[in-house]
Structure 1
């Protein structure tokens, strides 16, 4: 008996939710299960857009690689997984870590991942949004106006404590920049020679 299209959608949707619940907390330890994604998946964050499963794999390879280099401890906690509509999975998460610096430091980085599913229940878009940084208290206090103008409008709360220039020395921003540089250099000889792979 052949599966109906709606049955296939719900089977794949269930697999996607279960896989995301299992994969997300371990993104700094092991690679993801890419069976739930389409080959033409698009990844979006507030600054970038990448398309294709190979670039998507590279993003998570870069997170693991730079997470080990830049942090003594780094982990991602999943707070909530829910479906605001049939073809969308939303995950609220918190990234926390202790950077490799000679002074006492730790930080948190919260956000949401929105996954859109096609009619077959495969993920074709992953959007990271609503990023909130929790930095050490020595960052200068800012006004409510600074909070509003620091971020683009969003239907959900989005917080950046001060102008983006204030974060240039933060180890979290260094982490983001390191990941970004790895993605920009995806065709580098290091990757071409097979010394690092994202499979």
Structure 2
């Protein structure tokens, strides 16, 4: 994956009936899958001066699933200084022969302009009611993902005691 914008994928690991699912579309078939990755490379080179994909973590939560957490960074070809990035996960489902039959792109998170105020505390992050158990933003080394949202939620809950924290606990309950 890190060479996605400079080199074609090895399609021998995919089935001919591979299905790609992203938040807006679903495509089926190896030829469409190849075309999508060709289009990513083509448009990446055409529209960006610099574009790269960084892999944060690869893990296997079950026997037939592989998850990859990644970050895409780019500097567009515009006459002003600009850059952007977004993160997401790719979930690959494998058949009995170890071939990939489904690739789902999910948990996309765009990094917002720096003019927006970041969360002031861990409590602000937890009370934002994340829509999935997967982390949506990268805060540090890859081993940070060894904790789940539930563990983070419990840790924040246990640090809140006293009457002044009742409002915060009510906000946490609203997220659960």
Q: TM-score band, normalised by the shorter chain?
A: 0.5 to 0.7
Work out whether residues 116 and 126 of structure 1, in 8 Å CA contact, stay in contact via their aligned partners in 2.
yes
Unaligned runs of 5+ in 2: 119-123, 138-176
2:97 is equivalent to residue 135 of structure 1: no
Larger helix percent: 1
Q: Cα gap change, 1:135/1:72 in structure 2, threshold over 3 Å: closer, same or farther?
A: farther
Task: Find the partner of 1:102 among 79, 84, 88.
Answer: 79
Give the deviation of 1:157 after TM superposition: 4.2
Report the counterpart of residue 88 of structure 2 in structure 1: 111
Instruction: Map 1:15-164; keep pairs closer than 5 Å.
Output: 24-138=1-115, 153-158=131-136
Q: Which has the higher contact order (CA 8 A, sep 6+)?
A: 1
Q: What is the number of equivalent residue pairs in this alignment?
A: 131
Query: Separation in 1 of the partners of 2:132 and 2:94?
Result: 22
Alignment TM-score, normalising by the size of structure 2: 0.68
Write out the 4+ residue segments of structure 1 that deviate beyond 3 Å after TM superposition: 138-141
Q: Larger C-alpha radius of gyration, 1 or 2?
A: 2
2:158 counterpart residue number: none
Deviation at 1:155, TM superposition (A): 3.4
Q: 1:71 to 1:139 in 2, by over 3 A?
A: farther
Measured in 1, the distance between the counterparts of 2:19 and 2:60 equals 19
Q: Is the 8 A contact 1:105 1:136 kept in 2?
A: no
- State the 1:139 CA deviation: 6.1
Aligned alpha-carbon RMSD (Å): 2.2
Distance in 2, matches of 1:136 and 1:30, equals: 30
Gaps of at least 5 residues in structure 1 are 1-23, 160-199
| Residue 154 (structure 1) shift | 2.9
